[in-house]
Structure 1
C-alpha cells in the first residue's frame, strides 16, 4: 500500500467526481428563448404598426402634407393633397397668405378636435404664416385610405 502525501506537508484533497450534470436547464432556456422570438414575429405579422394609426393621425398627416406642399409648389392646389375642384381662394389659408400666392412658409402649430363623420372630417388647425398664428376649421374628405383638404 502506498500512501500519497504532498512533500510540503499539505494533505491531499480528494475530489468527488460522482456528480452527474444535466443539460436540461440549458435546453429549457433555449426553448423559452425560441418561444419568445416566435411570439414577437407573430405579433408583428398579425398586428403591424401601420394598422395602429388612428383617424386623428391620418387627418394630421393630411394637414401637414397640404401645408408643406402649399409652401413649396407653384401649382395651386398642389397635386395629391387637396380635393378635385378645391378653390385656394376660399381656403382657410387664403387670408393669411393674401390669396393664392405660393412660396410663403406655412407652419402648422396645432391640430385640435378632429371629428370624423363618414367620409368627411373637420379639424381646428392653427397655422403660422409670417410669424402670425391663426386658428381655422379645415374640412377634409376621405379618398380611398387617405384624407384630402377640401376647404
Structure 2
C-alpha cells in the first residue's frame, strides 16, 4: 500500500498559466466614472442651486438679513438691507421689534403668506422679541434684483 501512495506523489502537478487577462473591464469602469463626473459637472452648470430658490425663500432671506444686520449694527436701518430713505421708526418696525435696543431673533420656519406683485412683496414673519413671539407683515421691494425691507 505504501508503494502505491509513493507512486502517486511522483507525478508532476501541471499548472495552466495560459489564461489571458484583459484590461477591458478596467477601461470600461474608468469610462463610466468619467461619464458620471461629466454629468455631475454639466448638471451643476445647467441648473445651479440658486435657480432652485423660490421667491418665498428670497423674501424670508431678506427679512432674516434685516434682523441679522440690525443685531450687528446700531444704525437704523442697517445699511444694505433696506430701501433707500427707509425710516424704521416711521414704518412702525421699531415698535414691532420691541424698540431700538431690543434683542430680536427670528425663527426660520416663521414665514407665511408670501405675496409678490411685480417688484413689491409682503410676507408674514414671526419674530421673537425679548423671548416673546410676535407676528407681523413685512413689506419688501426688489431693488437691483435684491429684496429689501421697505414701507411702501
After TM superposition, what 4+ stretches of structure 1 lie above 6 angstroms from structure 2?
none
Q: Show structure 2 runs of 5+ residues with no match.
A: 1-5
RMSD (Å) for aligned C-alpha atoms: 2.2
Deviates more, 1:7-16 or 1:121-130: 7-16
Which string of whole-angstrom CA distances, capped at 9 and with x for unpartnered residues, describes residues 39-78 of structure 1?
1111122222222222112111110111112223221111
Q: Show structure 1 runs of 5+ residues with no match.
A: 1-5
Which residue does the alignment assign to 1:108? Answer: 106
Which string of whole-angstrom CA distances, capped at 9 and with x for unpartnered residues, describes residues 77-121 of structure 1?
11111112222123353224455x2x3221112111211111111
TM-score computed with the length of structure 1 as normaliser: 0.83
Matches within 5 A, 1:2-151: 9=9, 11-99=11-99, 101=100, 103-109=101-107, 110-151=110-151
Q: Using the TM superposition, give the Cα deviation of residue 7 of structure 1 relative to its aligned residue in structure 2, in angstroms.
A: 9.1
**How many angstroms apart in 2 are the aligned matches of 1:83 and 1:56?**
19
**How many angstroms apart in 2 are the aligned matches of 1:118 and 1:10?**
96
Count how many residue pairs are aligned between Structure 1 and Structure 2.
144
**How many angstroms apart in 1 are the aligned matches of 2:28 and 2:77?**
62
